[in-house]
Amino acid sequence: MNTTPIASILRPEAACACGHKHTTITEAVYTGSGALTNLAPFLKHLGTESVLFVYDTNTYAAAGKSIERVLSSTSAIACKNLVLDGTPHADETTVKIITAEMIKTRATCAAAVGSGTISDLVKVAAFTCRIPYVGIATAASMDGYLSANATIITDGNKVPFSNINPPRAVFADPGILRTAPSRMTLAGLGDALGKITSLADWKLNHLIRGETYCNDTATMLRCEVAALLDNAQRADGDAGDDRFTEQLVRVLMLTGIAMQRMGNSTPASGGEHCISHAMEMKGYAERHEAPSLHGLQVAYGLGVTAAAYAAIFDASRAMSFAADNTAGLLESHRTDWRSLKISMDDIISKKKDLYSTYCSAFASIRTRNDDEDFSFLLHNNKRLGEIIGMYDLPKRASQIPLSERDASFAVTHAIDVRPRFNAVDLIAAAGIIDDYIFL
Ligand SMILES: [Zn+2]
Ligand SMILES: [Zn+2]
């Protein structure tokens, strides 16, 4: 199954066939049983004198003792713990608590022990204090461990940080991952499967707008996702299956590597993520919370974008694309975002310009079903649907749960989220977007 060792993927390469020289800040990803035994040697490799481990009460219970055990014989490194109370949020106040502790303990390195929230908090705090950090994964729940992005809530708004340093290494020990609630693993599965349409969207932008595309990076992800589909099907809905979890972790980690290679989230985040972002932005604006876990929201988005691509490539179906179909939609969205007090005017204006420039090229995509990224999606679409059902991932808004209005908002406003195209743009320009709001 593990055709390529992760270490060889991380090794600095000569110039890639795509014309770029890809570099990654992350030097090592340790997975599999005994992954944690590499922690002390890696910290020494970084020249660490003092390390601050950041936990919450749950992650301390899951991993604290194992970490202390593997470091007990390493007297050269001073280890301090910060255990955040309850369920911390990735907010400005908590970042300040962590940075203050980093300064107080004179940490020369930090360790984020957790999943999405702790990872984002430590990523931003370590960047602020200009120290390196490592990640110790406690759940196979999302692909952001190795990303250069984080989102921190400031004054009730989600403020994105981009191009900040990812961890120098990540340790994903199955003994610790097993303690995570299965709902988190299912969210990780949703996020990982989302690559099926994010890769298609990447190719779409490459073909239509000349966006930078790396075939080696896309092929690596496609192979890993194909192995995940095999394992997910074999495990038959058992999120605790060891080989399934191992491959899921590989996809989540290698997605992070793909993002580092490209210097942005393009390979990992397409229309399925835009649907998740749109529902989350509305959720935060109205109720100060996301509707569900990130990967479960992405799974819903994936159902929509995979169905949208199936329609686009259905040769028996007559379809025409017109920028006029989206112009009115985008204008009404300006008002919708304003009423949520979210400023989206710039991006909507850019999107209007993009449609008027490129919409006439949309029809050409329909003939490209032999392209690797599109055919990967089309060949696996049926299997994807079966796996979504097998693991009970949300197919319908009611499973999130999301009201009819919120589901409609999430799908239609996914065209506003980024100044690039995704599957939802195609169905919007074809005037059939309303058929893809799955309630
Ligand atoms: Zn994601
Ligand atoms: Zn490349």
- Axis crossing angle, helix 215-235 with helix 372-390, rounded to the nearest 10: 20
Residue 363 pLDDT exceeds 80 = yes
Ligand nearest to the CA of 293: 1
Give a yes or no: residue 305 inside a domain. yes
Ligand nearest to the CA of 198: 1
Ligand nearest to the CA of 270: 1
Q: Report the separation in Å between the CA atom of 21 and the middle of ligand 2, taken as the mean of its atom positions.
A: 7
The enclosing domain of 65 has a CATH number of 3.40.50.1970
Q: Report the separation in Å between the CA atom of 14 and the middle of ligand 2, taken as the mean of its atom positions.
A: 10
The enclosing domain of 371 has a CATH number of 1.20.1090.10
Q: In terms of domains, do 159 and 229 share one? A: no
Q: C-alpha distances in angstroms, 370 versus 248, 308, 374, 383?
A: 27, 17, 7, 19
Amino acid at 251: V
Residue-wise pLDDT tens digits, 120-161: 999 999 999 999 999 999 999 999 999 999 999 888 777 889
Q: In terms of domains, do 171 and 227 share one? A: no
Residue-wise pLDDT tens digits, 382-407: 999 999 999 999 999 999 999 999 99
Residue with tokens 């959720």: 283
- pLDDT, average across residues 50-73: 96
- Other beta carbons less than 10 A from residue 85's beta carbon: 7
Residue 298 pLDDT exceeds 70 = yes
Ligand nearest to the CA of 141: 1
pLDDT value of position 1 = 41
Dist CA 429 CA 323 (whole Å): 6
Give a yes or no: residue 297 inside a domain. yes
User: Where is the domain boundary, 180, 214, 229?
Assistant: 180
Q: In terms of domains, do 384 and 240 share one? A: yes
Q: In terms of domains, do 49 and 169 share one? A: yes
Give a yes or no: residue 357 inside a domain. yes
- pLDDT, average across residues 267-285: 96
Q: Report the separation in Å between the CA atom of 298 and the middle of ligand 1, taken as the mean of its atom positions.
A: 7
Q: In terms of domains, do 144 and 267 share one? A: no
Q: In terms of domains, do 175 and 200 share one? A: no
Dist CA 156 CA 253 (whole Å): 30
Looking at residue 165, what DSSP letter applies?
P
Full-prediction pTM beyond 0.85? yes
- pLDDT, average across residues 85-99: 94
Q: In terms of domains, do 99 and 150 share one? A: yes
Q: In terms of domains, do 143 and 276 share one? A: no
Q: Report the separation in Å between the CA atom of 375 and the middle of ligand 2, taken as the mean of its atom positions.
A: 21
User: Where is the domain boundary, 165, 180, 195?
Assistant: 180
Dist CA 421 CA 410 (whole Å): 16
Q: How many domains does the chain have?
A: 2
Amino acid at 369: N
Give a yes or no: residue 10 inside a domain. no
Q: Strand, coil or helix: what is 112?
A: strand
Q: Report the separation in Å between the CA atom of 263 and the middle of ligand 2, taken as the mean of its atom positions.
A: 11
Pairing of strands 78-84, 50-56: parallel
Q: Report the separation in Å between the CA atom of 213 and the middle of ligand 2, taken as the mean of its atom positions.
A: 7
User: Where is the domain boundary, 180, 214, 236?
Assistant: 180
Give 289's contacts (C-beta < 8 A, 6+ positions apart).
Answer: 283
Encode burial over 185-196: b for 16+ CB neighbours within 10 A, e otherwise. Answer: bbbbbbbbbbbb
Q: Report the separation in Å between the CA atom of 2 and the middle of ligand 1, taken as the mean of its atom positions.
A: 22
Q: Report the separation in Å between the CA atom of 294 and the middle of ligand 1, taken as the mean of its atom positions.
A: 7
pLDDT value of position 13 = 65
Give a yes or no: residue 13 inside a domain. no
E strand or H helix that includes residue 244: helix 242-262
Dist CA 69 CA 433 (whole Å): 54
Q: Distance between alpha carbon 10 and the CA centroid of its chain, in Å?
A: 19
Binned at pLDDT 50, 70 and 90, residue 7 comes out as confident
Percent of the chain with pLDDT over 70: 98
Residue 313 pLDDT exceeds 60 = yes
Q: In terms of domains, do 36 and 169 share one? A: yes
Ligand nearest to the CA of 147: 1
Q: Report the separation in Å between the CA atom of 256 and the middle of ligand 1, taken as the mean of its atom positions.
A: 10
Give a yes or no: residue 6 inside a domain. no
Binned at pLDDT 50, 70 and 90, residue 4 comes out as low
Residues β-bridged to residue 84? 56
Ligand nearest to the CA of 261: 2
Give a yes or no: residue 21 inside a domain. no
Q: Report the separation in Å between the CA atom of 85 and the middle of ligand 2, taken as the mean of its atom positions.
A: 43
Residue 2 pLDDT exceeds 70 = no
Q: In terms of domains, do 248 and 384 share one? A: yes
Give a yes or no: residue 23 inside a domain. no
Q: In terms of domains, do 211 and 267 share one? A: yes
- Candidates 432, 162, 203, 202; CA nearest to 321 is 432
Phi-psi region of 368 (alpha: psi -120 to 50; beta: other; left: phi over 0): alpha
- Other beta carbons less than 10 A from residue 15's beta carbon: 9
Q: In terms of domains, do 228 and 311 share one? A: yes
Domain that holds residue 405: 185-436
Cβ–Cβ < 8 Å for 139, 160:
no
